[in-house]
Structure 1
């Protein structure tokens, strides 16, 4: 059975680094190992959908050049960014982990919004 992984994401619009047609958003991710085994994050998969329905997928090894190992109860935090052509946008995905018993499993990342401050409401 996969180990329980808790994932929390916070976002912020970066107006000073944005231009028309390229809106940049920072996001901070906290990953907590709520299980009983040591796990290692292997891969990431993001799906970004902007207001026009344009979909971008991002796949890669680890996060920010790391493949963190989390013992039971430990957290790993990191910050990154994503750009979209037309906000508001939504972002969702998953992380692939391997447990110390060798099982590879996916931990889903719930959809979250990337929106300008003047764009109220959630987009899921």
Structure 2
């Protein structure tokens, strides 16, 4: 079963759809791989640009891995009012379950102010364990 997670912050809607990747995961070597599809919809009247990202990946044992970077997938997309930007990325854990959460920093091109958009926390659950981070 695949769940979509959606959250709107500062007139920007972020939807994440995580998918466990069986073919790339090697449970007996403690390697569990997910792909996640992200859809960012600009519901504001202004043109915005995604500047940076901050992720926390928390495994079900409580270990936290932080990822900070410029843009997403090598881009700093400009999103006009009503437009949607989509991208796909991936994550791996050495345990079968965890949670990802984070935020994006955007620039409002009209006010020249930066603002944060919260990424909805989402579960990374493999079919191999009943332990859950949530």
TM-score relative to the length of structure 1: 0.92
* 1:52-91 aligned within 5 A: 52-91=61-100
Change (3 A) 1:31 1:121: farther
Question: Shift in Å at residue 122 of structure 1?
Answer: 7.1
SS in 1 for 2:40: strand
Question: Shift in Å at residue 117 of structure 1?
Answer: 2.9
Corresponding residue number in structure 1 for 2:40: 31
Corresponding residue number in structure 2 for 1:11: 18
Does the 8 A contact of 1:7 with 1:32 survive in 2? yes
Q: Which blocks of at least 5 consecutive residues in structure 1 are unaligned?
A: none
The match for 2:126 among 102, 111, 116 is 116
Listed one character per residue, the Cα deviations across residues 8-62 of structure 1 (whole Å, up to 9, x for unaligned) are 0001111111122121100000000000100000000000000111100000000
What's the C-alpha RMSD, in Å, of the aligned pairs?
Answer: 1.7
Q: How far apart, in 2, do the equivalents of 1:42 and 1:31 lie? A: 13
Q: Which blocks of at least 5 consecutive residues in structure 2 are unaligned?
A: 1-8
TM-score relative to the length of structure 2: 0.85
Does the 8 A contact of 1:45 with 1:95 survive in 2? yes
